[in-house]
Chain A
Amino acid sequence: MANHSTEASYEQQPVWAGGRSPFNVSYGKLMMWLLLLSDAFTFSSLLVQYGAQRFSNVQSPVTTLWPEPAAIFNHFPFLHGLHLPLLFVSVMTFILIFSSVTMVLAVEAGHRKSKKEVVKYMVYTVLGGAAFLGCQAWEWSVFIHEGARLDGNTFGITAEGAAKFKTLHFGDHFEWESAWRTNGPVPFAALFFIVTGFHGFHVFTGVVANIVITIMAARGVFERRGHYEMIEKTGLYWHFVDLVWVFVFTFFYLI
């Protein structure tokens, strides 16, 4: 029973005859959408917790503010000591968004049933995902090296520190000052690790799925099947992961 329905559904849509089909998609794609809907709620719950923690974290007397991301994430490989706020994470984000573009190209090639191009663009997508994961590993290790811990936060910034920080320019020499290295709101680093980690886990599963799909495409499985719907399904997942990153990026780096 397992196999026939899986294979029959895409090409032989007439299986459906119960009046008007509500979404006009195969059940496999519908399932992916439902999974993403559910996952969107998981990420929402994480980001809601972030918001609640951040806005309820008012210590009295107010001595430190929520850490300034631009003061923390200002490193770039081989350019230590310079103040390059959010440059590295912008590169990461660009890589991830670009891998979404190559994914779109792979899906489009799939519609044209061009096996060679599908494989080419899928390989680019896999590389983009893997590069993003590598960047994240570097970002995490630098952050941990600078003293980020799950059970505390030494990146608190005082009001004077924040004022002074504003005078720093892009590319200036950067050193830690006590004004922005005091004990700050506790959950800052823990939230960062859990939420970006949970997102990174999604990217990882996406990369694994993409590798599997690439191998299947290269071996001609979809060619024999007559359609490349699997590319579309993993593509949906991949775009979702990118979209989530846009929110994570906004909350953790920009605001």
Chain B
Amino acid sequence: MSTAALHAEHDAHHHHKESFISKYVFSMDHKMISKQFLITGIIMGILGMGMSLLFRLQLAWPDEQFSILEVLLGKWGAGGKLDPNFYMGLVTIHGTIMVFYVLTAGLSGTFSNLLIPLQLGARDMASPFLNMLSYWFFLTSSVVLCISMMVETGPASAGWTVYPPLSALEKAMPGSGLGMTLWLVAIALFIISSLLGGINYISTVLNMRTKGMSMNRMPLTIWAFFFTAVLGLLSFPVLLGAALFLIFDRSAGTSFYLSDIYLDGVGALENIGGSPVLYQHLFWFLGHPEVYIILMPALGITSEVISTNARKPIFGYSAMVISLMGISFLSFIVWGHHMFITGMNPFLGSVFMILTLIIAVPSAVKVFNYLTTLWKGNLRFTPAMLFSIGLVSFFISGGLTGIYLGNAALDIQLHDSYFVVAHFHLVMGSSAIFGMFAGIYHWYPKMFGRMMNNTLGYFHFWITFITAYLVFFPMHFMGLAGVPRRYYQFTLVKEFDVWMDVNKLITVAAIIAGAAQVLFIYNFFYSIFRGKKAEQNPWQSNTLEWSTPVEHIHGNWPGEIPTVYRGPYEYSRPDREEDFYPQYIPDETSTDPLKSTKAAPAPDTKEPEVEPVNSVFFSALKRVFGWS
């Protein structure tokens, strides 16, 4: 009896034993765990977004009183005005939630869990138990972070990077007390969760692929999740080391990160002799790979969605893989570009600068490959496709400013200004969240067996896309003019008065963007129960996950696991009538699944006619707006 048949029998045996608890709560099924990650991530996302609206209100109308704030926040909004300390707390927790909880766990936790077994043809993750633990550590960590917002002295307020001394001295500011301790506990739990998830993802990718699924036939999503997991595995432990020393500095009287601090001409600290710059080195050794931990899953999802909806093979499959590899490697040796002006040898600065600028090469490879995949494709503008194209747009416009910021000399002016805020919110914030939306719209039928509403999806996309640019684009100009980030209000600096109107514009756009997410949340939860039933393969995609039954079962495939006969992106092959050729359809001509037949050469005809550029433009317009 084959192993697969054994599995099938085993599954049939145990199917009826599932209770509510084992199915929905302590689930060890990767599909359920991915939904748990997604929904927790969405809830955290709502929180993070809500916080950004609160501090945007303060920035746009610093002297206004909003009585709603007092109702919402109690003493932190006394008199309808946001407390300055709480403002710092909001900025910190907004960053923490968005970076770690939404775009790390919510994005790669959801889609790695869902897609790695499904796209590789595995019954489940390598270790379902560790997978379950990974989610529960993540949830505990989220709960601890939420609790830290409710303590008497307020949440951690030292910025999401928690630099010492604000994070190391308990009395530095209100948020440096219990809030900071809880922040560290939450992050320690988060690191454990990410470690458990990471080793699971890597070993599943390496060890659990189905017959015929060689590494060079893996969908690019899987490659992206694989490199993401490697990055997390190697960079989070360093943050753990830094956090360990920070905890000792806070509570045991050591002074690893504390150097001389003088107040009124006398040393204010008993214990000195350390260096806060050391913490920054360690933090950014995690912090920079973290940027790619956030971005790479979104890039992988985009590769898949763009290729499927352009009905074309992805342009340059191996270039895509190699560029992911290059980005992963480079991400470990560029952390110093976050610290150009915090006291680093200028020679070291120029080394970091050169390495940073080299990252533009693999990133540009990815962008050009997306564009060339889209070029003359038979585009289908599903919501997922629009979000993917939106990602490419943000990746370009945010990535270009990265070249400015990577320059050690320019950074003297731009460091800690709104230019930085604009840069990273476009290139990793918006584009990663767009990748996440693309993934949700694309794989929703696989997750919940129902379709999301397309019209709401289009509204969601266009409003979010336009408002995201309205929010972040003007910030470039503010940053160039020297407006610093993280300030509570600018009314005392007359030079910045000219930016008041821009601040108002940004806040109004942010509120509209927030409202657009309500559409998404309504669409998401409504469709779980009332959406249109999904077909087997709604996007006519090639990859394995669409061969599983629409109703989830344990073990993913009812019978044997399908065998893979070819790469994942064989769309519009000239020798096929249909414009897609799923990986699991056997080859008539070849019996060995590991030997793929080459596509028949295109019939020898005259040169293809080149459409004039303006007609390409108009046909694109027609498709986008549905004119025909």
Closest CB-CB distance, B128 to chain A, in whole Å? 5
Known contacts A27-B127, A37-B233: A42-B202 contact under CB 8 Å? no
Closest CB-CB distance, B394 to chain A, in whole Å? 31
A residues 1-57 touching B (CB-CB < 8 Å): 1-2, 4-6, 8-9, 12, 14-23, 26-28, 30-31, 34-35, 37-39, 41-46, 48-49, 52-53, 56-57
Contact check, A18 vs B209: say whether CB atoms are below 8 A apart: yes
**Among B45-53, B175-183, B210-218, which stretch is in contact with chain A?**
B210-218
Known contacts A2-B129, A37-B233, A38-B237: A27-B28 contact under CB 8 Å? no
1/0 per residue, CB under 8 A from A, across B237-277: the answer is 11011101100100011111000000000000011111100
B residues 510-567 touching A (CB-CB < 8 Å): 554-555, 564
Q: Does B589 contact A (CB under 8 A)?
A: no
Known contacts A49-B241, A187-B273: A2-B28 contact under CB 8 Å? yes
List, in ascending order, chain A residues with CB within 8 A of B351's CB: none
Q: Say what secondary structure dominates the interface of chain A.
A: helix
Q: How far is the CA of A208 from the CA of B129 in the complex (A)?
A: 20
Contact check, A19 vs B594: say whether CB atoms are below 8 A apart: yes
**Among B3-11, B307-315, B471-479, which stretch is in contact with chain A?**
B3-11
Closest CB-CB distance, B193 to chain A, in whole Å? 13
Q: Does A194 contact B (CB under 8 A)?
A: yes
Closest CB-CB distance, B212 to chain A, in whole Å? 7
Q: Does B208 contact A (CB under 8 A)?
A: yes
Q: Does B126 contact A (CB under 8 A)?
A: yes
Contact size range, A: 35 or more
Q: Which residue of B lies closest to A186 (CB)?
A: B273
Q: Which residue of A lies closest to B259 (CB)?
A: A56
Q: Does B206 contact A (CB under 8 A)?
A: yes
List, in ascending order, chain B residues with CB within 8 A of A150's CB: 248, 252-254
Q: Does A198 contact B (CB under 8 A)?
A: yes
Q: Which residue of B lies closest to A41 (CB)?
A: B237
Closest CB-CB distance, B31 to chain A, in whole Å? 11
Q: Which residue of B lies closest to A45 (CB)?
A: B241
Contact check, A14 vs B233: say whether CB atoms are below 8 A apart: no
Q: How far is the CA of A15 from the CA of B214 in the complex (A)?
A: 14
Q: How far is the CA of A34 from the CA of B126 in the complex (A)?
A: 13
> By the criterion of a CB under 8 Å from any partner CB, how many residues of chain B are at the interface?
63
Q: How far is the CA of A203 from the CA of B212 in the complex (A)?
A: 42
List, in ascending order, chain A residues with CB within 8 A of B252's CB: 150-151, 190
Q: How far is the CA of A59 from the CA of B275 in the complex (A)?
A: 13
List, in ascending order, chain B residues with CB within 8 A of A34's CB: 198-199, 202-203, 233
Known contacts A12-B3, A31-B199, A35-B195: A190-B206 contact under CB 8 Å? no
List, in ascending order, chain A residues with CB within 8 A of B10's CB: 4
Contact check, B211 vs A18: say whether CB atoms are below 8 A apart: yes
List, in ascending order, chain B residues with CB within 8 A of A35's CB: 195, 199
Q: Does A206 contact B (CB under 8 A)?
A: no
List, in ascending order, chain A residues with CB within 8 A of B415's CB: none
List, in ascending order, chain A residues with CB within 8 A of B28's CB: 1-2
Contact check, B245 vs A194: say whether CB atoms are below 8 A apart: yes
Q: Does A161 contact B (CB under 8 A)?
A: no
Contact check, A26 vs B237: say whether CB atoms are below 8 A apart: no
Q: How far is the CA of A57 from the CA of B278 in the complex (A)?
A: 12
Of B210, B238, B253, which contacts A45 at CB under 8 A? B238
Of A4, A30, A48, which contacts B7 at CB under 8 A? A4
1/0 per residue, CB under 8 A from A, across B8-31: the answer is 001100000000000000001100
Contact check, A23 vs B206: say whether CB atoms are below 8 A apart: yes
Q: Does B56 contact A (CB under 8 A)?
A: no
Q: Which residue of A lies closest to B214 (CB)?
A: A19
Contact check, A27 vs B237: say whether CB atoms are below 8 A apart: no
Closest CB-CB distance, A122 to chain B, in whole Å? 24
Of A31, A38, A45, which contacts B203 at CB under 8 A? A31
Q: How far is the CA of A52 from the CA of B281 in the complex (A)?
A: 11
List, in ascending order, chain B residues with CB within 8 A of A149's CB: 253
Q: How far is the CA of A1 from the CA of B244 in the complex (A)?
A: 37
Q: Does A85 contact B (CB under 8 A)?
A: no
Contact check, B282 vs A57: say whether CB atoms are below 8 A apart: no
Closest CB-CB distance, A41 to chain B, in whole Å? 4
Known contacts A2-B28, A31-B127: A38-B199 contact under CB 8 Å? yes
Q: How far is the CA of A210 from the CA of B572 in the complex (A)?
A: 57
List, in ascending order, chain A residues with CB within 8 A of B128's CB: 1-2, 5
Known contacts A2-B28, A30-B203, A34-B199: A53-B256 contact under CB 8 Å? yes
B residues 585-617 touching A (CB-CB < 8 Å): 594
Top 3 A-B pairs ranked by shortest CB distance?
A18-B209, A45-B241, A19-B214
Q: Beyond the given A19-B215, A38-B234, A150-B252, please list 9 additional residue pairs across the A-B interface where CB-CB is below 8 A.
A: A1-B123, A2-B128, A14-B3, A18-B214, A38-B198, A49-B242, A52-B275, A52-B278, A187-B274
Q: Could you give 28 example pairs across A and B, Cβ below 8 Å? A: A2-B28, A2-B128, A2-B129, A5-B123, A5-B126, A12-B3, A16-B207, A18-B209, A18-B211, A18-B214, A22-B206, A23-B206, A30-B202, A30-B203, A34-B198, A34-B199, A34-B202, A38-B233, A41-B235, A41-B238, A42-B237, A53-B274, A56-B275, A150-B252, A152-B271, A186-B255, A187-B273, A190-B252
